Amino acid sequence: MEFEDRLFKVKMDVERKILPFVEKPGRYIGNEFNIVVKPEAQVKIALCFPDIYDIGMSYIGFKILYNIVNKIPWASAERVYAPWVDAEEIMRREKIPLYSLETKRPLKLFDVVGFTLQYELHYTNILNMLELGGIPIFSKDRSEEDPIVIAGGPVACNPEPMSAFIDVFLLGDGENLLPAFLEIVYRMKKERRKRDEILFESAKTLQGVYVPKFYEPIYENGKLKGVKKLFDELPLPIKRNVVPELKPEYYPDKPVVPLVEIVHDRFQLEIMRGCTQGCRFCNAGMIYRPVRERAVDDLINETKTVIENTGYEEMSFVSLSTSDYSLLPELMSRSYELITEKKVSPSFPSLRPQTYTKGIAKFAREGGASGLTFAPEAGTERLRRVINKQSSEDDFYRAVEIAIDYGWRLVKLYFMMGLPTETYEDLDGILRIAENVVKIAQRKKVYNMEVHVSVSPFSPKPHTPFQWERQNSIEELIDKTRYLRSKNKCKNIRLDIRDPRVTTLETILGRGDRRISDVIYSAWRKGAKFDAWTDKMNFDLWLEALNENGLRVEDYTREYDKDEVFPWDHIFMGVLKKFLWRDRQKAYKEAMIPDCRPEDICHACGACDFKTIKMLIREQIDKDVKGARDGEVLSIGEETIWIDKSYQRSNVKVQTFVYRMKYTKEGDLRYISHLDLIRLFNRIFRKANLKVAYTQGFHPHPKFSFSAPLPIGYSSLCEFLDFELEEFLDPDEIKERLAFNLPNGMRILAIKRIPKQKKSLDKQINLFEYKVYYTSENLQTQVELLLSKDEVLIDKVTQDGKVKTINVRKYIAGIYVEDDGFRLKIVRDENGVMPRVDSILKILLGLNENEIRELKIERTGQFIWENGVIIDPIEDNVEENKIGVYYHEEGNLYQHAEKRNAYSSS
């Protein structure tokens, strides 16, 4: 089959065989705002996230790499996500290969297939995706025709468990490493060099490239003794790559915006990378050193551009510890005007109590944030000293007081259990801290304070001072779980404790050597996948897989000796093993080491070379805040926050203008749910810079009123939306501004100004017309039979879940047979009740649910039927014929073509 034909076939198969039959078709269509399609590119990489779209689309790393690669003239990056089980089942049954969202290109047809390793429990999904993509699972089985499979991300800091499946690991920052690797692929493919030559060249010349097949582990009596390289030219150890500075051009000014809801559906602004607080259990805190802060000017520019190009209504300041960013007050001051004017809610996903201030509280609160998260990690000061957690309990209570004063009524707290040296007194401390939060709230006369406590078992992570530690057994952790649950008596505290088996599996996979590759393969063959999903993880399968390979859980959860070789010792992620060991010894003396940043004390961890790789800390500017212009400077505690006076306007009642719009919803957009459509319109209006009026209250939302939701899978030529603007604009101008920001499948047919409506649009429209593309010899007879009845009863489940029997016939205003199908008119009664279209089609055509899903159905008309006349909601056309013509005069029911007016021909 020709190449183009293969892509077209996948596209058709997706449309016909997957989308109508899966729970969330929006995950599989692509077609989002700002996607990049470069069919002419000579090197194509698939950026694969080993979990579903809803999760993978939230990952900022791929947004950065997608932007960087797509800026290279000869390269392109497309996105691939793991299909959920319903889609996978269809893909396997119908032999549809895993494909990219941009061009529907099967995975096998890419030059490079790149996975991000964010979490150990994604490993089986990677095998699954390779198989669905038609790529041999094992690296050794791949031929010259297969793509090069690469992987990077934090979990790649121990690449050995996945070494049998991944051809190349890219270790460390990818911003400059991935383009350099692709450049080698591009150059050497043009020279028709073999894949092994490409792998060798990249391993030899690029820092951060690890090709497992060029290295061999040495075991003695079953114990790992080291790793040897098979070629002298290669490096050992393999050093991670680090970018000295986070340059503004790495970050997309037009990130892809999903059409359907995802887990973190917001603009993520990375403000810095790295953390030097030195928590001894934290892998990210070690491998992302040193701290590299971004310039405030760059952050402000990015915020402005991204908000304009995406229409996002939420943003988060992303880093391992947001409140440690040196210039946070300046950043908040300068972004305040922008995000209040654009009505963007800011959030701070990682805050430290000691750096949590009134300024942050005010900033986040005014932006609409509702929950606040802190991670004390341990229940006592003693254990916090052991883990080197810098914040004290006093810091924490001070932060909670600020939060309560600024209106927070929900605090989320993260703790760990099973930490080295932990006692039951430390566990008691977890509940004591949570109870103290409730008491502080009550002292302030706040009685509805909610405290959500999440407790995760400790897992010893590679490249951390605690990498030698033993993990508590599952039985010990179950005992501790029971203990905590039995001690929690406070109704304001919700306790959520992670399943110890999940953490145990994380440890096995995270600390594993090459032998774990076989375990991953066996577990996957037995059915393990989506292990990161609590309801999908089957620990027994993993026990069987370990057993089959002669391994035990304890081999990986045990304590390691000082001089033992770890499977990841040949990978240098920046922090020296001797530093880690020294730090571990300090832990047992409850001795802390301070953050090397504010103190300017270097502990010689090894991360900086002090030439190109060093701390990049931004300097504080004048406290007067240079950008204040005509604003007002407020001092809040130790901070200076500039408040723009114009923001006060939002509390002033302004005149608003109501408009009605008619638009289409066709193509892939028919798989977007009504809720997703509401979110989409919010962003379309924001991108078009139209000043939509908002409702009052703590969570204001745009004043939109939609016509009745369209069932998923139906297209429409006539959807309606009423919207209210805070400015008077000519409808043509609104149409023009919106037209530039519409997704494929949406066209605006008309906009007109209307008076303020007493009833919502949904309540006004009560007559609907659908075109069903279905023909059969018996159709005419079937229609006549149905219409000849006075009563056709069906059970309908109402919104509150009750079952109600309704007479469907009463709601059918007409059925008109045409050459290529028929039109169905349905009315909604005065109580808002109306049968579903598919329930009528089942009765009329005798088809089952799946057969109906395969039909092409289009909404062709929506009308207001009032006092016996039919009114088009936007065109003011009034039907000549009264509705009774269709409904009662049976002889005329099939003469629709003659009776029809212009309204339905649009």
Residue nearer to ligand SF4 on the CB measure, 87 or 242: 242
Which token pair is 57? 């689309």
**Does 272 interact with ligand SF4 (rule: CB under 6 A)?**
no
Residue nearer to ligand SF4 on the CB measure, 604 or 785: 604
Rg of the chain, C-alpha, whole Å: 31
How far from chain centre, in Å, is Cα 618?
A: 30
Q: In this chain, which stretch among 143-151, 595-603, 796-804, 830-838 interacts with ligand SF4, using CB under 6 A?
A: 595-603
b/e 705-733 (16+ beta carbons within 10 angstroms → b): bbbbebbbbbbbbbbbbbbbbbeebeeee
Q: Cβ contacts of residue 579 below 8 Å, gap of 6+? A: 603, 604, 605, 606
**Does 292 interact with ligand SF4 (rule: CB under 6 A)?**
no
DSSP state of 459: -
Min CB(478)–ligand SF4 separation in Å? 38
> What sign for the dihedral angle of Cα 401, 402, 404, 409?
negative
Min CB(594)–ligand SF4 separation in Å? 10
Q: Could you tell me the maximum CA-CA distance found in the chain, to the nearest angstrom?
A: 95
DSSP state of 483: H
Residue nearer to ligand SF4 on the CB measure, 282 or 339: 282
Min CB(83)–ligand SF4 separation in Å? 41
**Does 390 interact with ligand SF4 (rule: CB under 6 A)?**
no
**Does 242 interact with ligand SF4 (rule: CB under 6 A)?**
no
3-state SS string for 707-718: CCCCCCCCEEEE
In angstroms, the CA 101 to CA 116 distance is 17
Report which of 586, 603, 585 is spatially closest to residue 594, judged by C-alpha positions: 603
Neighbours of 759 (CB within 10 A): 10
**Does 602 interact with ligand SF4 (rule: CB under 6 A)?**
yes
Q: In this chain, which stretch among 322-330, 412-420, 600-608, 766-774 interacts with ligand SF4, using CB under 6 A?
A: 600-608
**Does 573 interact with ligand SF4 (rule: CB under 6 A)?**
no
**Does 570 interact with ligand SF4 (rule: CB under 6 A)?**
no
Task: State the DSSP string of 712-764.
Answer: TT-EEEEEEEEEEESS---HHHHHHHHHTTPPTT--EEEEEEEPPPSS-HHHH
Min CB(290)–ligand SF4 separation in Å? 4
In angstroms, the CA 190 to CA 111 distance is 12
In angstroms, the CA 281 to CA 421 distance is 13
Q: In this chain, which stretch among 165-173, 342-350, 402-410, 597-605 interacts with ligand SF4, using CB under 6 A?
A: 597-605
**Residue 505 carries which side chain, given as an amino acid letter?**
L
Instruction: Pick one of 404, 607, 688, 844: the residue that binds ligand SF4 (CB under 6 A).
Output: 607
Report which of 833, 904, 835 is spatially closest to residue 870, judged by C-alpha positions: 904
**Does 470 interact with ligand SF4 (rule: CB under 6 A)?**
no
Q: In this chain, which stretch among 61-69, 242-250, 602-610, 859-867 interacts with ligand SF4, using CB under 6 A?
A: 602-610
Cross-strand pairs, 671: none
Cross-strand pairs, 269: 317
Cross-strand pairs, 273: 292
Min CB(291)–ligand SF4 separation in Å? 7
Min CB(157)–ligand SF4 separation in Å? 16
Residue nearer to ligand SF4 on the CB measure, 433 or 587: 587
Residue 121: phi and psi, rounded to 5, are -80, 10
Instruction: Pick one of 204, 358, 603, 842: the residue that binds ligand SF4 (CB under 6 A).
Output: 603
Neighbours of 564 (CB within 10 A): 12
**Does 592 interact with ligand SF4 (rule: CB under 6 A)?**
no
Residue nearer to ligand SF4 on the CB measure, 382 or 603: 603
- 3 state DSSP class of 193: coil
Min CB(287)–ligand SF4 separation in Å? 11
Residue nearer to ligand SF4 on the CB measure, 390 or 507: 390
Q: For residues 615-644, which are near ligand SF4 according to CB under 6 A? A: 615
Instruction: Pick one of 103, 116, 139, 276: the residue that binds ligand SF4 (CB under 6 A).
Output: 276
Residue nearer to ligand SF4 on the CB measure, 576 or 633: 576
In angstroms, the CA 427 to CA 761 distance is 56
Min CB(462)–ligand SF4 separation in Å? 18
Q: For residues 782-811, which are near ligand SF4 according to CB under 6 A? A: none
**Does 507 interact with ligand SF4 (rule: CB under 6 A)?**
no
Q: In this chain, which stretch among 92-100, 362-370, 601-609, 715-723 interacts with ligand SF4, using CB under 6 A?
A: 601-609
**Does 188 interact with ligand SF4 (rule: CB under 6 A)?**
no
Min CB(37)–ligand SF4 separation in Å? 41
How far from chain centre, in Å, is Cα 341?
A: 26
Instruction: Pick one of 24, 105, 273, 289: the residue that binds ligand SF4 (CB under 6 A).
Output: 289
Residue 357: phi and psi, rounded to 5, are -125, 170
Residue nearer to ligand SF4 on the CB measure, 105 or 280: 280
**Does 365 interact with ligand SF4 (rule: CB under 6 A)?**
no
Residue nearer to ligand SF4 on the CB measure, 86 or 609: 609
# residues contacting ligand SF4 (CB under 6 A): 11
Residue 337: phi and psi, rounded to 5, are -60, -45
Report which of 410, 362, 368, 409 is spatially closest to residue 700, judged by C-alpha positions: 368
Residue nearer to ligand SF4 on the CB measure, 180 or 592: 592
Q: Cβ contacts of residue 204 below 8 Å, gap of 6+? A: 231, 233, 234
Task: Give me the helices (H) in 731-858, please.
Answer: 731-739, 761-764, 779-788, 837-845, 849-853
Residue nearer to ligand SF4 on the CB measure, 289 or 294: 289
Q: In this chain, which stretch among 550-558, 598-606, 712-720, 797-805 interacts with ligand SF4, using CB under 6 A?
A: 598-606
**Does 273 interact with ligand SF4 (rule: CB under 6 A)?**
no
Neighbours of 559 (CB within 10 A): 11
Neighbours of 881 (CB within 10 A): 15
Instruction: Pick one of 35, 596, 672, 746: the residue that binds ligand SF4 (CB under 6 A).
Output: 596
Report which of 810, 815, 806 is spatially closest to residue 785, judged by C-alpha positions: 815
In angstroms, the CA 95 to CA 78 distance is 21
**Residue 457 carries which side chain, given as an amino acid letter?**
P
Residue nearer to ligand SF4 on the CB measure, 602 or 621: 602
**Does 286 interact with ligand SF4 (rule: CB under 6 A)?**
no
Residue 837 near residue 711, CB atoms below 8 Å: yes
Min CB(611)–ligand SF4 separation in Å? 12
**Does 320 interact with ligand SF4 (rule: CB under 6 A)?**
no
Instruction: Pick one of 97, 106, 255, 290: the residue that binds ligand SF4 (CB under 6 A).
Output: 290
**Does 608 interact with ligand SF4 (rule: CB under 6 A)?**
yes
Residue nearer to ligand SF4 on the CB measure, 537 or 605: 605
Min CB(243)–ligand SF4 separation in Å? 15
Q: Which residues bind ligand SF4 (CB under 6 A)?
A: 276, 289-290, 596, 602-605, 607-608, 615
